[in-house]
Chains A and B, each alone.
Chain A
Amino acid sequence: MSVSAPRGLASSGQKLITEILHPLSAAEEQLSPGPDVSSSSSSSSSVGGGKEPGLTNGTPVEMSNPAPASQLLNRLQLDDDLDADAQDLTETRDLFVTVDDPKKHVSTMETYITYRVSTKTTRIEFDLPEYSVRRRYQDFDWLRTKLEDSQPTHLIPPLPEKFVMKGVVDRFSEDFVETRMKALDKFLKRVADHPVLSFNPHLNAFLTAKDLNKRQGLALLTKVGESVKQVAGGYKLRPRPVEFCAMGEYLDTFSQKLGTLDRIAQRILKEQSEYLTELREYGAVYSSWAGSEEQLQRPLEGVAGCVTTCCGALEDASENMSQDFLPVLREYVLYIESMKNVLRKRDQTQAEYEGRLEAAILHKQEDRTPIPVEVERCQDKVECFNADLKADWERWQRNKRQDFKQLLTGMADKNINYYEKCQAAWESLITVLQDKQTEDKTSETN
């Protein structure tokens, strides 16, 4: 595909697509007021029985998943209250993707996890309206590489980290698989949302082919892609135009801040865990004291119970932080790296153009022959690249704003939730204790 105007979609930039209901999933999908970004709600609604990677050998399943049209419409209507950006309001999506249902596959050679990738679409580029295939991480990695190669002027969303230290992280633990799956889902949704990337034939293959034969590859590398790839580092780098400089600086600072946020969040988790340990012991002392008391036994047990409830609430809150909050931060760090790479490629393209231009001018000083065709082509390339990059940048900024708005709001919600649980526990204890007090008083006066 060329990097010319994308077909179908006037713009992109809206948030990640909300969930597609799988007919087998028991859970109701959650219609939250904002765009359903956080994969926690999306995957929980469709993972249904897929929470634990089953030990059975999964086989690729192709099912048709008809979703009622009204549900699709509902989802589209949710995007109302977001950006006042005029473009976004007229958008209609016609490609929906989901990653869910992790399953463990055991073969003689290796053990690995596959995920179900479901697609629903009305695009003519797709033969069927629905697809369901199984893919493993390798396949996602292949897709990303192909996208990067074939669409070098565009920002490709990041994948979760590839390598995990075998001894340190359990690749098959529920938590790890779930976190990874959410990130893969996000990746795919971002690609599907992109006005250019979503039309990439590699994506099409990824979503539809029963067996992804990666070695074959698709002979549809763009010419632009090839030629951009062939830009050697032989051209002197030129100063960046101001706007791209600003982008670079922003990315550097933002990356720094994200790193700090990550460290703070981890520190909080650590402190919370130590607090939890002490709190448990503290509750136990109340229980043990209750054993030696008569009248005070119930009140003391009551306090011990409250403390235990608070411990549980804290555990939940901490788990949420590490499962939902931290991965998103880290993903953005990867996203920033991708963006920086694209900026660098742009710089190289510009370098090539200006280099050739200079050379051409030097040679043709005497003649009045027009600028050679390759130089013109380079100029085109640079201009296209700049345009694509700017468009992607805008989209990225909007997405980033939504993602972080949701992330931080989520963090606030979790904290509020935690305190609400604790408050409820203590309030019910007071009722019990005060009832007891009045009981005691009346029995006294009798």
Chain B
Amino acid sequence: MAEDGKEESVASSCDGSDRTEPDGSLNHTVPGDGSSLLRRMEICVAEAERRSGKNAVGMQETFTVYLIETRLLESVDGRNPPPDSLWRRYSEFELLRNYLIVTYPFIVMPPLPEKRAEFVWHKLSADNMDPDFVERRRVGLENFLLRVASHPVLSNDKILYHFLTKEHGWKEMVYETEFQAKADSRLRALNATFRVRSPNKPLMETKHYSDELQSHTSQLLRARTRVADRLYAVYKVHGNYGRVFSEWSAIEKEMGDGLQSAGHHMDAYAASIDDILEEEEHYADQLKEYLFYAEALRAVCRKHELTQFELEMASQDLVSKKQQREELATGIVRTFSFKGMTNKLFGQEAPEQREARLNLLEELIAEGEEAVKDKTAECEEYVERAWADVLRFKDQKDKDLQEALINYAHMQISMCKKGIQIWSNARECFLKM
């Protein structure tokens, strides 16, 4: 298969020393010492800007571009290297990610921030052009780059490197890898249903886990949205106290001042929920990242199933060919075959024909055995690499989510403190009534 060469170069090491270039395909790895890209280079997505231009079909459109700034950390000739920057659209990030998925199918691929705003609580805008959404997306894109650039395997990829450094011509470079063809066939295969006889148990358990993770994170995101909506209402209704206290204070003598000031604090209370919920969006974004990560995890397991299935098919094919050879050689028919039927109906074939068929079969069997050997190796290697990354992912997930939960708790504490402060102020005013 034409793809073999590419897969070999990919499957070879991450150490970059192997720079074979079969079939003129690009070398995927970058020369380096094998440590992650992030250690050698600072990366950030600094800004977002609106642009308009003509798209592929010549229509005017507005889109957002993001400024990627990079700076090499090692000084060259004793001088600090200047920072470099280029602009990229969201679609280019998508292209990069798709390329990486196809090229490194055994890696649990870091996800991109969502394309459209989902799990939105009512006050938050679902508009892609909304500045808050754009800002959160900028943060998400930066997070994606940082994750990829710090990954032991992904960070050495050449296309990634050029994504960060080569503004023009990068797209062409990606298309030249012809990853697109692989992408389509992969997608088709992953969507197909097939049964695998002996899948790798740990990976299958991981697939089951990924379903759970996906279900729980999406449930949590939905529940959080509903809670946010309700909490918003509770705070805002308190604003009415502000108005009533103010009106009431107008008809009071001694009570008036206290009521009036208390009213202001009620207004402040009602207003405080906006910032609180805005901050909580960061927490939601962290959950979303792992919602999408769950999908990526699942894909890794499915790819294994596919590979294993192909292996089983190839083995099956080999077995049946060997049986055919046996039948041909011994004349004993064990299995049904059309040749056998036609032989019965139209008489046996001539010995020369049989000879020819036998030889063909031997060739096919030889090829089949090669195929099975290759496929088995492919499978084993895949399982090994996938499992390594699954373990890495699990560790990362545990750390990240624990951190996220701690941050969430801090947010809640700060909300409580704010509430106490405002109500204490109001209480002071009431005491002065």
In whole Å, how far is B227's beta carbon from the nearest beta carbon of chain A?
A: 5
Contact residues, B393-425 vs A (CB, 8 A) = 397-399, 401-402, 405-406, 408-410, 412-413, 416-417, 419-420, 423-424
In whole Å, how far is A444's beta carbon from the nearest beta carbon of chain B?
A: 9
Docked Cα-Cα span, A271 to B270, in Å, equals: 14
Which stretch in A11-19, A41-49, A109-117, A402-410 binds the other chain?
A402-410
A-B contact count (CB 8 A): 143
Docked Cα-Cα span, A173 to B424, in Å, equals: 34
Docked Cα-Cα span, A434 to B224, in Å, equals: 24
Query: B216 touching A422 by the CB < 8 A rule?
Result: no
Binary per-residue interface labels of chain A (389-408) against chain B in the complex, 1 for a CB within 8 Å, 0 otherwise: 00000000000010011001
CB-based nearest A residue for B251 = A253
- With beta carbons under 8 angstroms apart, the residue of A250, A253, A296, A433 that contacts B398 is A296
Query: B409 touching A429 by the CB < 8 A rule?
Result: yes
Contact residues, A241-289 vs B (CB, 8 A) = 250, 253-254, 257, 260-261, 264, 267-268, 271-272, 274-275, 278-279, 281-282, 285-286, 288-289
Which stretch in B7-15, B153-161, B232-240, B380-388 binds the other chain?
B232-240
Query: B423 touching A275 by the CB < 8 A rule?
Result: no
Q: Would you call the interface of chain B mostly helix, strand, loop, or mixed?
A: helix
- With beta carbons under 8 angstroms apart, the residue of A285, A430, A440 that contacts B409 is A430
| Chain B residues within an 8 Å CB radius of A440 | 399
Query: A303 touching B409 by the CB < 8 A rule?
Result: yes
Question: Does B244 reach chain A (CB closer than 8 Å)?
Answer: yes
In whole Å, how far is B52's beta carbon from the nearest beta carbon of chain A?
A: 41
CB-based nearest A residue for B416 = A423
In whole Å, how far is B398's beta carbon from the nearest beta carbon of chain A?
A: 4
| Chain A residues within an 8 Å CB radius of B107 | none
Most A-side CB within 10 Å, residue of B231, B262, B398, B416: B416
Docked Cα-Cα span, A419 to B420, in Å, equals: 6
In whole Å, how far is A16's beta carbon from the nearest beta carbon of chain B?
A: 17
- With beta carbons under 8 angstroms apart, the residue of B220, B234, B406 that contacts A433 is B406
In whole Å, how far is A228's beta carbon from the nearest beta carbon of chain B?
A: 30
Question: Does A415 reach chain B (CB closer than 8 Å)?
Answer: yes
In whole Å, how far is A167's beta carbon from the nearest beta carbon of chain B?
A: 30
In whole Å, how far is B60's beta carbon from the nearest beta carbon of chain A?
A: 43
Question: Does B357 reach chain A (CB closer than 8 Å)?
Answer: no
Query: B426 touching A412 by the CB < 8 A rule?
Result: yes
CB-based nearest B residue for A427 = B413
Query: A278 touching B416 by the CB < 8 A rule?
Result: no
| Chain B residues within an 8 Å CB radius of A59 | none
- With beta carbons under 8 angstroms apart, the residue of A275, A303, A416 that contacts B227 is A275
- With beta carbons under 8 angstroms apart, the residue of B209, B229, B401, B431 that contacts A409 is B431
Question: Does B84 reach chain A (CB closer than 8 Å)?
Answer: no
Binary per-residue interface labels of chain B (208-227) against chain A in the complex, 1 for a CB within 8 Å, 0 otherwise: 01001100110110011011
Query: A408 touching B219 by the CB < 8 A rule?
Result: no
| Chain A residues within an 8 Å CB radius of B399 | 440
| With A292-B209, A437-B402 as contacts: A271 and B237 at CB distance below 8 Å | yes
Query: A416 touching B427 by the CB < 8 A rule?
Result: yes
| With A405-B431, A423-B416, A426-B412 as contacts: A275 and B233 at CB distance below 8 Å | yes
In whole Å, how far is A305's beta carbon from the nearest beta carbon of chain B?
A: 11
CB-based nearest B residue for A286 = B220
Query: B230 touching A271 by the CB < 8 A rule?
Result: yes
Query: B413 touching A426 by the CB < 8 A rule?
Result: yes
Question: Does A446 reach chain B (CB closer than 8 Å)?
Answer: no
Identify 8 residue pairs between A and B in the complex whose beta-carbon atoms are under 8 Å apart, listed by A's number: A279-B230, A285-B219, A408-B433, A415-B419, A416-B423, A423-B412, A423-B420, A426-B412
| B contact residues vs A (CB 8 Å cutoff) | 209, 212-213, 216-217, 219-220, 223-224, 226-227, 229-231, 233-234, 237-238, 240-241, 244, 247-248, 251, 254-255, 258, 262, 397-399, 401-402, 405-406, 408-410, 412-413, 416-417, 419-420, 423-424, 426-427, 430-431, 433
What 9 A-B pairs are tightest by C-beta distance, nearest first?
Answer: A412-B427, A423-B416, A275-B230, A289-B216, A419-B419, A292-B212, A295-B398, A408-B430, A282-B223
- Other than the given A285-B220, A401-B255, A405-B255, 7 more pairs (CB < 8 A) read A260-B240, A272-B234, A275-B230, A295-B398, A295-B402, A303-B408, A434-B406
